[in-house]
Amino acid sequence: MTLFDGIYPFYPQQRKAFVFDISTIIGIVVFLAFACSFLLIIPGIRGRARMYWTLRVLLSLFIGAVIVIVQFTGDWETGWVKANTSYKSFSSALVNVDIGLHVGLAGVNITLVGNPVHQVNETIDYNEHFSWTFDADYDHSYSEGLERGLPSPILYVAEKFTMHSPCSMHRQYRISGHYASATLWVAFCTWLISNMLFSMPALVYGGYMLLVTGAFVIFSLLSFSTVRNSPMCLIQFGTSTLRTSYGGSFWLTLAIGLLCFVIGITVVALHHFNLDLLKTFFDFHENNAEECQEMTEVYINVNKALSLSQPSELNPNSI
């Protein structure tokens, strides 16, 4: 790598969106395929059961989709700051930029957007991802950013999350993110079990399993939020400080956890106080009635067939 007029050159590199990446898109497409497949067969369901089936299936798919997709999003914790700061190493030129930090369970995204975008004869519009998953080396990604000559604000923020930084932010966020991700995968497994139980005449156990799903979702949020209980290093740009707060994925996960609690409590309460309504909603009451009616009709038809097949007795007086 050579210097050009005392300034490191900038090479084009692949950038990653801070909210949607390929894993998120794949998850959305998979669950949309399940939803579309169900919508194709829904016209074959008769009566009020069609509405009940639609509500149950779409709501369940929404819960499962959120549990899976939020593990790949990058907006569990977000923050923005506007600052006048240096743009390149070995240069005294200042630029007015918006600096964004987006923390996910698998890494961080650092965004740099100029105000305006075109300044100092360059286009200032960067978004860099640094991963801390088990198969990734965060410090190596940071070193590659140094070699590529990334802008100074991005490198300054990324340095706060390195393993050797005195801030210890890497260890805090990495451990909490791994525990939150593992807990969400357990919640996904319990969500699958609850759907299996709801397809059988064990509705109350499906409600209990949905409560367990909500509990694991809340546990994942508690695991991630532990990082905010530790002292954090300030990310300072002159007189401006980059402060973060919980992002959209965090609040969406919280809403899903509360929704699981509401549905689970409703199912358990209906099981104890109005079992007929619960069976009707899950399409078990009507099915049992139809089966009883069909069995009665079969029994009557069999009796008629047997009576017709028996030979009539001869009256001796008629001979």
Inter-residue contact 19 to 252 (CB < 8 Å):
no
The pair phi, psi for residue 117, each rounded to 5°, is -65, -35
pLDDT attached to residue 125? 85
pLDDT attached to residue 107? 87
Closest CA to 260 of 215, 198, 202, 201: 215
pLDDT attached to residue 255? 95
Closest CA to 263 of 213, 210, 201, 194: 210
Give me 123's structure tokens: 């286009």
pLDDT attached to residue 185? 95
**Rounded-to-integer distance, Cα 28 and Cα 64, Å:** 11
Q: How many residues are there in the chain? A: 319
Helical H segments across 91-168, by residue range: 138-148, 152-159
pLDDT attached to residue 305? 52
**Angle made by CA atoms 136, 138, 144, in degrees to the nearest 5:** 105
Consecutive H or E run containing 101: strand 94-103
pLDDT attached to residue 261? 95
pLDDT in tens, 93-120: 788 889 999 998 988 999 998 888 888 8
pLDDT attached to residue 310? 54
pLDDT attached to residue 299? 44
pLDDT attached to residue 11? 41
Q: Which residues of the chain have pLDDT under 50?
A: 1-14, 16-19, 286-299, 302, 312-316, 318-319
